[in-house]
């Protein structure tokens, strides 16, 4: 059994990127499980707070999920042509202390959905220096940018477009086959 940890960089209830991960769970090939983690509850990083209180429970949960996963799938929104701060903050927390070793060599795929016409092209590119610094193994054989997401997801953030689901299925299968 192959396990992929999926993380959405959005906190919105009806997030397109969270919906993309739920759809990835549904279209994953046989023998592949997509476990969806949550960055909700991850506080802003504060070294003084870390020294006084240790790793916050929300971060400890994510670290445990990353340790159990064969690969990491980031569903990243694009805010102001870059990585959402809340998402980067969660990854920064996860890479503290012993968590850093979990990223070393970990296969990572990046995708994203956006209401704009370019999908999340710039955010996906902005993840590359971060993934390189963490010594991950970025998966470059596939790319999926979901543009005009407002037309492809319903009001609850559920992916309803059959063509996009098919593209997502191919993306997830390709990533899983590389693990």
At 167, which helix (H) or strand (E)?
A: helix 162-177
Report residue 126's pLDDT band, with 50, 70 and 90 as the boundaries: very high
Model pLDDT for residues 39-71, shown as the tens digit of each residue: 999 999 999 999 999 999 999 999 999 999 999
What global pTM score does this model have? 0.97
Model pLDDT for residues 149-162, shown as the tens digit of each residue: 999 999 999 999 99
- pLDDT (0 to 100) of residue 74: 98
Task: Give the right CATH number for 2-177 from 1.10.260.40, 3.40.1390.10, 3.40.50.360, 3.30.230.10.
Answer: 3.40.50.360
Sequence spans of domains, the chain:
2-177
Contact 91, 77 (CB under 8 A): no
């Amino acid at each position: 059994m192959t396990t992929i940890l999926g993380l959405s960089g959005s906190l919105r209830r009806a997030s397109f990127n969270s919906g993309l991960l739920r759809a990835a769970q549904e279209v994953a090939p046989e023998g592949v499980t997509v476990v969806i983690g949550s960055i909700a509850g991850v506080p802003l990083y504060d070294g003084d707070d870390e020294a006084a209180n240790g790793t916050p429970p929300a971060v400890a949960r994510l670290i445990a999920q990353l340790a159990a996963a064969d690969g990491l799938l980031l569903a990243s929104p694009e805010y102001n042509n870059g990585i959402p701060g809340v998402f980067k903050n969660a990854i920064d927390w996860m890479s503290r202390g012993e968590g850093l070793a979990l990223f070393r060599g970990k296969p990572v795929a990046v995708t994203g959905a956006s209401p704009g016409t370019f999908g999340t092209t710039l955010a996906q590119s902005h993840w590359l220096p971060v993934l390189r610094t963490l010594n991950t193994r970025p998966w470059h054989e596939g790319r999926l940018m979901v543009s005009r997401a407002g037309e492809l997801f319903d009001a609850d953030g559920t992916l309803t477009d059959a063509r996009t689901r098919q593209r997502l299925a191919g993306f997830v299968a390709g990533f899983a086959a590389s693990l």
